[in-house]
Chains A and B, each alone.
Chain A
């Protein structure tokens, strides 16, 4: 190794650091450390003049290592890496000493904070002595994308990607794609949800680039951007494409369960078609409820049913993953505004089904056996902290959907008294016209504030007691039907999603974007993108747009067919590796395998799959596995420095 020549740069960060830490003292101390040839302090190291200081020293003082004592590497490591590489130094010969987040921001006692800053610098210098130049690697990236969730966001993303020539795999948990949008009667005054979805599905059907896996789940995701390995479990559907939808099987099926596709308005059999335009367009058996009596198999004339079918595991290699697994509707508890106590209290989603011409009532608004003469929507059920257990956010789509439906109802039943009992009307943007239209249609808007409305169910009928905020008066409204405008919840199985994809959640339980403004649609893990309601409530339009955005991001990542990966990954010293295989078992990314090299068993790291977690490094019994940038010698030097030891060895 050439003579180590380290430059140490202590940043004031304005008063952020210098207000607590004696930066001059830290710089003076740094000069006394072995290998340090120059140490300076400056008001903002990250500024142009600050960076120039480093660059000039590299040239004039022949530095071959740089330690910057400033903020977290998360903030400025890239800045300083770029700076030193502009001065001709390999950018991995930089070590950051975080004396802001780890020191000045969390301490007040100047003397002790200064002492700690000196220790942090000492450790960084000790490690810097052993830094090595590293080269970034370029690996091939797969031009294929896994889309999780077959709702409108996922479908849109898939179509965009396929148009661009990418191979797309849609993985949908339920037996059909289409998501909840397919179940919404009218998404605007003229458009039926089912129509929009079936148009999108038609395109998918005709597109050879898109492969759809229904009744499928992602059970494992390994690898990294450009080279993910996705393991899918294809749950048995028991019915294959020979099915002609004759429906004889459905008649003989003895199992009846609540029909989730009509939000519990009716029942369905264990063998069923989710909805008219479901895709793939044939029957499915709900493996969770089927008792395998075999009746359907007996009556099927087309040999389309095979009850012996078992779950299959499929492995796909993809360059990126788009998560678009949507949301769950809010689940009102029994008795919330009379929910579950009267057949005349329904949810907004149930209403949407009733208004759909394909519904069990053929589009007739029949609530509790008849068309009601009066109907009230109660808004913000489960949203905006309105009711007990409600989420704090606005679910964004309920106001528009409720008003849109109210207008539809008024058009069909002009005599019906329709009330919308609301907190605030959130018909933002162009949806405001719906609000105006509703006024013209003589829909009654009744506003409440802190005091939430009370629903009374009595033999005389349903009553809503509400303190009308604008007239400041308690009023009692008799109605024949109540619609609860329920909001959105994170999907029930989000925990599994997090476990498999390692995305993270925000406070409300939805998946978090890396940065709402600077890295929208991206998950913190490179190569994972987010679309639709998985990141929080959205209306259908917004979800579709986010699908397009996610697709665009995935394309820009993969379009070159190559991807640059960090060199700070595991590396095997083949001279030392005995092929014991411990690392293979512990690698969470399946990046290591044992290969035979000239008859010797040796561990091999698949660079594209290694995420640099260091697990193999820690478990390697012989020290053959080293983590570049965090080698044993580097970390031990740092540790010894922390313990005030003289040297490592």
Chain B
């Protein structure tokens, strides 16, 4: 029997949803296990970094990496995996373009640490401890001392392809089981698409497969923007035409319009289309285009835009680190991270 192709999974800055999406393969998982050998998969299997290091270069058929590159450890691991793999696939929105954790690029690391460890209402940290490169914990009762070394955070989050060469992308937050399954068949088959291709999804934007596309009025113009947390959209009517900001027109199709079918506008997790240089730029262009006021009506226009409190979060929800903006300017290395903290 021929050797099964080796497959690896790795996680970087992600929420765990991508791992969930593997489980969502359900009974198809069994077929998967029959066809491939999994050599590395921190979420499910106890292989260590050394195990990967021992593998010969280019010996892994496909490595799927989810999450953005936020820590030095991520950077080291993906470089290692790149060396060991024939094909590296950016799996999911965070790995492909930064994803939701990429929105942290709007803040400095210090701001993030302060918020996370000191300000958040749910935090209980009376001594105001912050993570440090080395944390020493002494327990006098048993006369013992423990040391914890943490990897350093990087000043910004980067998509995978800004750190290593990426062969293919699988979009989604997370990728749907069908998209992943289709991509897997392609990757394990004989006809590999050209490098850089997005697997398992459509070439056109979501409107192409959206069941509500037919319901658009002849001229798609709106007087105000609405939010789903304030108003329930009318079912079976194009959400954009109702004023709900739907990213469908600017987002790659292939998800089978799952959110739309649940009466929720597209938030854009299938990401950037071929030929679009900046996702958010394109998004704000078309959103601005459908606002039905003359350029003279500045007051009305301002009012309409003010209805949406977080524009960056809307138009760059999954793609900020891959955009022309990338991150807030003037990021310095955090002052708040100390070399050593003793507890």
Contacts and interface: CB of A to CB of B under 8 A. Distances in A.
Contacts of B216: 580-581, 594
A619 B273 CA distance: 15
B213 A579 contact: yes
A160 interface: no
A621 B208 CA distance: 13
A618 B220 CA distance: 16
A578 B290 contact: no
Given A623-B275, A636-B277, A580 B207 contact: yes
A636 B274 CA distance: 15
Contact of B253 (A578, A620, A632): A578
Nearest to A649: B277
Contacts of A582: 220, 249, 286, 289-290
Interface string B268-299: 00000111110000110110111000000000
A575 interface: yes
Contact of B250 (A579, A594, A618, A622): A622
Q: Pick from A579, A622, A632 the residue with the most CB of B within 10 Å.
A: A622
A580 B276 contact: no
A586 interface: yes
A632 B203 contact: no
B293 to A, nearest CB: 13
Given A582-B289, A584-B220, A575 B203 contact: yes
A577 B204 contact: yes
Contacts of A594: 216
A581 B289 CA distance: 11
B149 to A, nearest CB: 40
Interface residues of B, number: 29
A499 to B, nearest CB: 11
Contacts, number: 88
Contact of B249 (A573, A580, A615): A580
Interface in B208-260: 208, 213-214, 216, 218-221, 248-250, 253
A490 B283 CA distance: 44
Contacts of B253: 578
Contact of B208 (A586, A600, A618, A619): A600
Contacts of B157: none
A410 to B, nearest CB: 55
A575 B274 CA distance: 11
Q: Pick from A576, A580, A594 the residue with the most CB of B within 10 Å.
A: A580
Given A622-B273, A622-B275, A578 B219 contact: no
Contacts of A578: 204-208, 213, 249, 253
A546 B282 CA distance: 48
B247 to A, nearest CB: 8
A265 B101 CA distance: 79
Interface string A607-649: 0000000010011111110000000100010000000000000
A475 interface: no
A576 B249 contact: no
A516 to B, nearest CB: 32
B277 A619 contact: no
A622 B285 CA distance: 11
Contact of A623 (B218, B273, B283, B289): B273
A576 B214 contact: no
Nearest to A600: B208
Nearest to A648: B277
A601 interface: yes
Given A584-B220, A585-B219, A619 B205 contact: no
Contact of B213 (A576, A580, A618): A580
B204 A585 contact: no
Interface residues of A, number: 25
Contacts of B286: 580, 582, 619-621
A504 B290 CA distance: 27
A624 B208 CA distance: 13
Contacts of A619: 285-286, 288-289
B167 to A, nearest CB: 18
Given A585-B290, A586-B289, A619-B286, A580 B218 contact: no
Contacts of A636: 277
A355 to B, nearest CB: 47
A623 B276 contact: yes
Interface string B76-106: 0000000000000000000000000000000
Contact of B275 (A580, A615, A624): A624
Contacts of B220: 580-582, 584-585
Interface string B134-177: 00000000000000000000000000000000000000000000
Contacts of B283: 621
A632 B288 CA distance: 19
Nearest to B283: A621
Nearest to A587: B219
Given A576-B273, A621-B283, A622-B276, A585 B221 contact: yes
A646 to B, nearest CB: 15
Interface in B288-313: 288-290
Contacts of B249: 578, 580, 582, 621-622
Q: Pick from B221, B283, B285, B289 the residue with the most CB of A within 10 Å.
A: B289
A614 B41 CA distance: 50
Nearest to A617: B285
Given A577-B204, A624-B275, A584 B213 contact: no
B243 to A, nearest CB: 14
Contacts of B273: 576, 622-623
A600 B250 CA distance: 17
A621 B285 contact: yes
A148 B205 CA distance: 45
A579 B289 contact: no
Contacts of B206: 578
Given A578-B253, A632-B275, A621 B203 contact: no
Contact of B277 (A580, A585, A618, A632): A632
B289 to A, nearest CB: 4
B21 to A, nearest CB: 25
A600 B203 CA distance: 13
A576 B288 CA distance: 21
A573 B274 CA distance: 12
A112 to B, nearest CB: 28
Interface of B: 203-208, 213-214, 216, 218-221, 248-250, 253, 273-277, 282-283, 285-286, 288-290
- Which 8 A-B pairs rank lowest in CB-CB distance, beginning with the nearest? A623-B275, A619-B289, A621-B250, A580-B249, A578-B208, A621-B249, A580-B207, A578-B205
23 contacts: A576-B273, A578-B205, A578-B207, A578-B213, A579-B208, A579-B213, A580-B286, A581-B213, A582-B220, A585-B219, A585-B289, A586-B290, A594-B216, A601-B207, A620-B286, A621-B282, A621-B285, A621-B286, A622-B249, A623-B274, A623-B276, A624-B275, A636-B277
Given A585-B221, A601-B208, A619-B289, 14 more contacts: A575-B203, A575-B204, A578-B206, A580-B220, A580-B286, A582-B286, A582-B289, A582-B290, A585-B219, A601-B207, A618-B289, A620-B282, A621-B285, A623-B282
